[in-house]
Structure 1
Amino acid sequence: MNTNPESGVLQHGRSRKVVKRSNCGHPVKFASQKCGRSVHLESPLESPLEYDLAIQLEFDPSVILFQEQPLALKIEYNGKIRTVYPDLAVYKDDGSTLIIEVKDAKKASQQEVIEKFELERQVLVSLGYDFVVMTDKEIRGTIQHKNSSKLLPYRRLVIGSILREKVLGALAWRPMSLGEMLQEVPGVTLDLLKACIAQSVITTDLTQIVTLQSIVQPLRRNSKLSENQMKIWERRCL
């Protein structure tokens, strides 16, 4: 295992231009309000795993920001030095940085891929990053994925400043269910409440099916960001 001294440093932009892999198809753009830009993802059009994961990251309240191909790692494998570009970096509100590799479950189970990811994990952990491999089994078919996908269109719904203040005012003293919010806040609709969730005005547990009984509360971010995260947050990866 080996790394280049200049590798392993997170960049303010992509560590390379997203390119078309032979087995990839065309790069996909995800318009992220959280990141303030379009995130360029290397996902086949017929199976856009990275795109599906980006949707979940967009609505995960613990995620401050996410960035594609954030660094280049020099890793020694079978006597050869290889340059590895991890798929995503996720900056969490607890100050941690999670590096994610996205791979089809069938390919991720291949011994060569397992060995490469283990080397990558060792390097990234030594550099202070968390690391995980996510497959279609972890990304798709979950309640969180279904909820996030349904929320995506609500990012375009306009929430007036007065209504926003009414929603937050109603939640100032205690969390409420969506059903209670419909009764307590004049002029609010279920679609507008979903828009408030989609646009990070309020939050709810997206690992559970969203119903009128779902509890919502204002989104309060943890402020434990590292210096590097703050720099990237200020520049918003542009």
Structure 2
Amino acid sequence: MSIHSNGERKSAGQSAALRLNITPQPKAERAREPVTPSRGLVRGQFPSTKMKRMIAWESQLEQKACYHFEFSPAVIAFREQPETLYFPYQERMCRYTPDFELTLYNGEIIYVEIKPLSKLRSPQMLERLQLANQFLAEKGYNFIVITDEELNFPNRIRNFSILRPYLRFEIAFHISQQAKAWLANDPTFGALSQFFGLQSIAFALLAQLHIRIDLDQPLNLASALFTPANGDHHHETCLFTYRTGPDFRQCAIPTDSHS
């Protein structure tokens, strides 16, 4: 499918700059460089509870992005390689397909490119991304780039992989309220598991963000738990940061771990 010049499927928030309620982010860890270059693409399938299907990814960065989209309440839907764009580039028509399309809780559409940060240092790549950004902006869409600087958090990805199966669990309102009340007694993951008698309930409460945890610390029985801050809009929560054009610098990152 391509986005044509008449600009159909415009987003609800097309006139405003992109502003997501981003959770605090740690400093990214540098990915280990392979001893020898990869001889082929790494591909796989991400089992998405949110989308009720497998999502294809073509790099480990894309796989990590899938985890962040899956767990972010601000993202109500995402799909891979959604649209093919055609725009003028160096006296010819350039064909470009974004890696993902996100649909936000407010109906806004965002197109996403996943790239190693080193690729953004290429003038040719930067120019191409800027052209895609300009083309999509003219049609009323937001365009973001997410790099390894925004995705390389080993503890977070490990915690996501542990919690992912529990996204499909049904959590009744009274269970959520009981859990939040219990935190006043002993706010640890082990204590919460003992209170309900089932560790799966505690996992589900964490996975669905009824109860918060520092996702960038290893999850264990002693992990400290806390409830969302007053006024926190759960549905607006975004667990990743991103880069926007034209220079694709990283957007502001909160530093208060409980904000």
Q: TM-score, normalised by structure 2?
A: 0.62
Match of 1:53 among 44, 65, 90: 65
- Higher helix fraction (1 or 2): 1
2:126 to 86, 106, 114: 114
Measured against aligned partners, the alpha-carbon deviations of 1:125-159 in whole angstroms (never above 9, x if no partner) come to: 11221111111111113xxx633431323333598
> Which of residues 35, 39, 43 in structure 1 aligns to 2:51?
35
Q: What percentage of aligned pairs have identical amino acids?
A: 20
- The 1:93/1:49 distance shift into structure 2, 3 A limit, reads same
Q: 1:88 to 1:65 in 2, by over 3 A?
A: same
Equivalent residues in 2 for 1:181-220 (5 A)? 182=191, 186-188=195-197, 192-198=201-207, 200=208, 202-204=210-212, 209=217, 211-216=223-228
Stretches of structure 2 lacking an aligned partner (at least 5 in a row):
11-37, 237-259
Cα distance in 2 for residues equivalent to 1:171 and 1:122: 47
Deviations 1:166-193 (A, max 9, x none): 5224268x79577178469842456532
Contact 2:64 2:157 in 1 (8 A): no
Q: How does 1:80-91 map to 2 (within 5 A)?
A: 80-91=92-103
CA change 1:71–1:53 in 2 (3 A) is same
- Structure 1 residue runs of 5 or longer lacking an equivalent are 11-21, 223-238
Structure number with the bigger relative contact order (C-alpha 8 A, sep ≥ 6) is: 2
Shift of 1:216: 5.0
CA apart distance, 1:57: 1.2
Counterparts of 1:73-152 in structure 2, within 5 Å, are 73-141=85-153, 146-152=155-161
Q: Give 1:179's match in structure 2, choosing from 170, 184, 187.
A: 187
Cα contact 1:167–1:185 (8 A) shared by 2: no
Q: How many residues align?
A: 199
Alignment TM-score, normalising by the size of structure 1? 0.67
Q: Label 1:63 to 1:160 Cα distance change in 2 as closer, same or farther (>3 A).
A: closer
Distance in 1, Cα, partners of 2:71 & 2:127:
32
RMSD: 3.7
Structure 2 Cα separation of the partners of residues 5 and 159 of structure 1: 40
Matched-pair contact (CA < 8 Å) for 1:34–1:65: yes
